[in-house]
């Protein structure tokens, strides 16, 4: 196999690895518990679940950090390089949106680490005179958890808007060096249209479903694009875009 054949296949494999890593992060996170941190009367149970499932919580954090610090940034660079000749401005917006989302998700990662520490303190007692079950820990943990949730929604919106920019290139921009099927861009467009309305969840919990729809749509788009790169057989379809400068 020629080197020019291996590059798009390696890029496709990388996107699939990213999707699998996100799914593992979510799976381990779900296994920790499903208590609502926005409700004060569920905060104690949430911390107890984190303490009881500490290994799963830590594994979820590890996969999340890997995604946010390396995998998503490299994926953004891969997609930008693939599509930049078809619309340099939209490609730059897409790349920037994913970078901003990584920063927001990093905030969520740090809040998750803090929640593990607070869970230990709540169950076993903390430094100095902080006793196990101290109600002050509950209030701190709730504030930390809400901060993480807000960061997650902000990161999702930024990610989805970045995906929207790339999706518009794939579905509507003139053909260039890399030409995935135009329908592959539609899940990214759906994510970008839906995600901004996820903020309405602050007023009504029912809108939180838009957060999940946006994230699922982005994952589907990445999986489809990665699968296309893996299975494409013609160099002309997957050649990286030349530099626009």
| Cross-strand bridge partners of residue 85 | none
Extract the tokens encoding 229: 């790169």
- Is residue 117 in some structural domain? yes
| Cross-strand bridge partners of residue 238 | 178
Structural domain total, the chain: 1
- What is the predicted pLDDT for the residue at 3? 36
The DSSP annotation for 180-191 comes to --GGGGHHHHHH
Residue 47, Cβ neighbours under 10 Å: how many? Answer: 27
Extract the tokens encoding 150: 């807000």
- What is the predicted pLDDT for the residue at 199? 83
- Is residue 148 in some structural domain? yes
User: In angstroms, what CA-CA distances link 14 with 9, 20, 143?
Assistant: 9, 10, 36
- Is residue 134 in some structural domain? yes
Residue with tokens 């999702």: 156
- Is residue 239 in some structural domain? no
CA distance from start to end of the chain? 30
Local mean pLDDT, 10-residue blocks, the chain (245 residues): 63 96 96 82 90 95 96 96 96 98 96 94 78 85 92 95 98 94 98 92 80 95 96 58 47
- What is the predicted pLDDT for the residue at 200? 85
Q: Where in the sequence is the domain holding 209, given as residue range(s)?
A: 3-234
- Is residue 243 in some structural domain? no
Query: Do the Cβ atoms of 228 and 12 come closer than 8 Å?
Result: yes
- Is residue 240 in some structural domain? no
- What is the predicted pLDDT for the residue at 42? 87
- What is the predicted pLDDT for the residue at 242? 52
88-124 and 72-83 helices cross at what angle (nearest 10)?
A: 170
Q: Report d(CA 232, CA 218) in Å as an integer.
A: 21
- Is residue 71 in some structural domain? yes
- Is residue 29 in some structural domain? yes
Q: What is the pTM of this model?
A: 0.89
């Amino acid at each position: 196999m020629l080197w020019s054949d291996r590059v798009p296949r390696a890029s496709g494999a990388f996107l699939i690895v990213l999707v699998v890593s996100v799914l593992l992060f979510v799976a381990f996170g779900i296994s920790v518990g499903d208590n609502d941190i926005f409700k004060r009367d569920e905060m104690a149970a949430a911390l107890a679940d984190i303490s009881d499932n500490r290994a799963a919580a830590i594994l979820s954090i590890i996969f999340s950090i890997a995604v946010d610090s390396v995998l998503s940034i490299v994926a953004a660079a891969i997609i930008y390089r693939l599509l930049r000749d078809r619309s340099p401005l939209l490609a730059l917006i897409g790349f920037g949106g994913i970078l901003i989302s990584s920063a927001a998700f990093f905030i969520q990662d740090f809040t998750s680490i803090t929640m593990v520490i607070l869970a230990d303190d709540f169950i076993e007692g903390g430094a100095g005179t902080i006793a196990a079950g101290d109600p002050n820990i509950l209030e701190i943990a709730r504030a930390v958890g809400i901060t993480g949730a807000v960061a997650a929604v902000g990161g999702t919106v930024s990610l989805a808007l970045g995906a929207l920019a790339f999706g518009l290139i794939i579905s509507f921009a003139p053909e260039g060096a890399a030409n995935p099927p135009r329908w592959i861009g539609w899940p990214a467009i759906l994510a970008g249209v839906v995600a901004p309305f996820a903020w309405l969840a602050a007023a009504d919990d029912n809108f939180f479903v838009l957060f999940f729809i946006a994230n699922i749509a982005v994952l589907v788009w990445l999986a489809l694009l990665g699968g296309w790169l893996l299975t494409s057989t013609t160099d002309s379809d997957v050649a990286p875009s030349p530099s626009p400068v």
